[in-house]
Amino acid sequence: MIRILFVCHGNICRSTMAEFIMKDIVHKQHLEEFFHIESSATHTDEIWNGHGSPVYPPARAKLREYGIGTPDNELGVSEKRARLTSRTDYEKFDFIIGMDSANIRDLKRLFNGDPENKVYKMLEFADRSGDVADPWYTGNFDDTWRDCSDGCHGLFRAILMDPKYAAQMGDAEDIDDFDDYGDDRGLIHDDFPRG
């Protein structure tokens, strides 16, 4: 099982968008059984008396615009509630993906410096530097979608190209011999960025 945790400040916009974009990618490739994907917050701004806020309505609308969170592709969007990242998450997840530099600082503080190198910044997987655009301040969910989508597709590509994870999915023998996510595997070419 490949376990991925996406993290942002409040867990109602960026990290939730990343969670459901990644779930959609995995779902379309029929690889759900190999992945466990969640998202969480570094702060309790959106958690009240132990109850987290739902996905921020404009973020949910942007997901629906791309066919995620719709009745025929719900993926758990309606049930999602913000939750706080805990120290125990470090042992539970293989990839812990922060959306911006502040998230990375908070995560490394929480996880005592990331001794197993599990913490990554989202846009590392999109082959560019910087932070995922925060729509809470900009109101621009298009930029956030682009950043999260590029990062998720890049992360998915990195996982498929890593023999360790490919072996978990049971088809590692020709890992070096395929392009564009492995035509030999019958993977569906969706809107994957070609970098």
Q: What pLDDT does 171 receive?
A: 54
Residues identified as active-site:
8, 14, 134
d(CA 189, CA 195): 14
Tell me the pTM: 0.88
Residue position matching structure tokens 């969706």: 190
pLDDT at res. 181: 46
pLDDT tens digits, residue range 102-133?
999 999 999 999 999 999 999 999 999 999 99
Task: Report all structural domains of the chain as residue ranges with CATH numbers, in order of start.
Answer: 2-185 (3.40.50.2300)
Measured CA to CA, the distance from residue 72 to residue 61 in angstroms comes to 15
Residues 6+ apart with CB under 8 A from 170: none
Name the 3-class secondary structure at 156: helix
Whether residue 160 contacts residue 181, with contact meaning beta carbons closer than 8 Å, is answered with yes
* Mean pLDDT along residues 64-83: 97
Q: What is the CA radius of gyration of the chain?
A: 16
What average pLDDT does range 3-10 have in this prediction? 98
What pLDDT is attached to residue 184?
A: 44
Instruction: Please tell me the predicted confidence (pLDDT) of residue 168.
Output: 83
